Chain A
């Protein structure tokens, strides 16, 4: 928590009094018309998200030093339990800071997507590797198979899409009980999204092709009444909160924005107590449209 009256001084920006920001009556009402996001004045959010990383790093590095100083004592079950909690809390803080920073960048129009020819299968494989240890630790089986030669190239930003896949995948693993399964598939599709959910998203273009990725879990599921809130900022389902798992409620909001910046679509089906399947599509690379405008969009 930031202290009352603290002044932020980094970034070469004009100093901003936090109290002035917190008291601003316009914060909730102001909207960025492009993304329909509330706008925090004077880059407050991005500065805070950056500034908070300094104490997070201090905490993280000193925990590492503490483990070294403790030596064998760090393996004592009570000490190990405390260290584990500190590390988990720190990971949650890092995620929170990064999510807030990405939201702030969207508000400022600085959230850039650098598109280039991209093999989504490779992006998914990388995300699977990043999540492998967590799935193992939680006793969740992750099934995956795809023949990269059958999946066409798409146009996208591999780093941003990695963020998309990893977010969906880590949620699936996080909210699936031990012994459960997460199944990741990828295939070609002629639809941006199924007709019944296309309304309000985007029109399917006849003749267009997409790569469709799905992540199916056997987890806690999302209740019917909460499903319409899933992609909104700071949403966390009752069950997710009750599960005691960390989360900012910004991950899926960012994921949807990124997919839409790729001219794709994202949706899900879910049944409480049985599991959830997330789907997203990305347009196939059209070799006749790989001009500079598309690549740099």
Chain B
């Protein structure tokens, strides 16, 4: 069963996303801060869903960290952005993110599709 680490500072969004992914049959690990996420990355998730604006660190900085570390650089990362932050998708792409999703423009169904497609490609 693929393991997904969700890194999102807002508890309501985190719960919503994790419950939906669990229903889809994924094993879920949660993190509300970048610091906590760095520790949980040691569990080698198959995929990371990362919010662009965490409470303790810029999501792109955390992404750069993930991609710089030998042990984590191959883990695919999907970035969640706010509307208005679309330009950050370019920086994220350069850092090696597999996809950027603007939250207000995309429903859960779109996110499930991106997650499914990414995991199929990396299997």
A interface secondary structure, majority:
helix
A207 surroundings in chain B (CB, below 8 A): none
B36 surroundings in chain A (CB, below 8 A): none
Known: A57-B13, A58-B10. A64 touches B108 (CB 8 A): yes
Q: Is A3 an interface residue (CB 8 A)?
A: no
Known: A54-B10, A64-B107. A12 touches B58 (CB 8 A): yes
Q: How far is the CA of A9 from the CA of B33 in the complex (A)?
A: 14
Q: Which residue of A lies closest to B105 (CB)?
A: A94
Partner of A58, one of B13, B55, B83, B105: B13
Q: Is A2 an interface residue (CB 8 A)?
A: no
User: Is A61 in contact with B10, judged by CB distance below 8 angstroms?
Assistant: no
B16 surroundings in chain A (CB, below 8 A): 58, 61-62, 65
Q: How far is the CA of A60 from the CA of B87 in the complex (A)?
A: 23
Q: How far is the CA of A64 from the CA of B20 in the complex (A)?
A: 10
A65 surroundings in chain B (CB, below 8 A): 16, 19-20, 108
Q: Interface size for chain A: under 10, 10 to 19, 20 to 34, or 35 or more residues?
A: 20 to 34
Type the 1/0 row for B55-89, where 1 means its CB is closer than 8 Å to any CB of A. 10010000000000000000000000011110100
A-B interface contact total, Cβ < 8 Å: 57
User: Is A61 in contact with B17, judged by CB distance below 8 angstroms?
Assistant: yes
A30 surroundings in chain B (CB, below 8 A): none
Q: Which residue of A lies closest to B13 (CB)?
A: A58
User: Is B20 in contact with A57, judged by CB distance below 8 angstroms?
Assistant: no
Q: Which residue of A lies closest to B17 (CB)?
A: A61
Q: Is B109 an interface residue (CB 8 A)?
A: yes
- Give the Cβ gap from A184 to chain B, nearest Cβ, in Å: 24
Which residues of A does B touch, CB under 8 Å?
Answer: 9-12, 46, 49-50, 53-58, 60-62, 64-65, 94, 97-98, 101-102, 105, 112
26 contacts between A and B (CB under 8 A): A10-B55, A12-B58, A46-B84, A49-B84, A53-B83, A53-B104, A56-B104, A57-B13, A58-B12, A58-B13, A61-B17, A61-B20, A62-B16, A64-B109, A65-B16, A65-B20, A65-B108, A94-B83, A94-B105, A97-B83, A97-B104, A98-B104, A101-B83, A101-B84, A105-B84, A112-B87
Which residues of B does A touch, CB under 8 Å?
Answer: 10, 12-13, 16-17, 19-20, 53, 55, 58, 82-85, 87, 103-105, 107-109
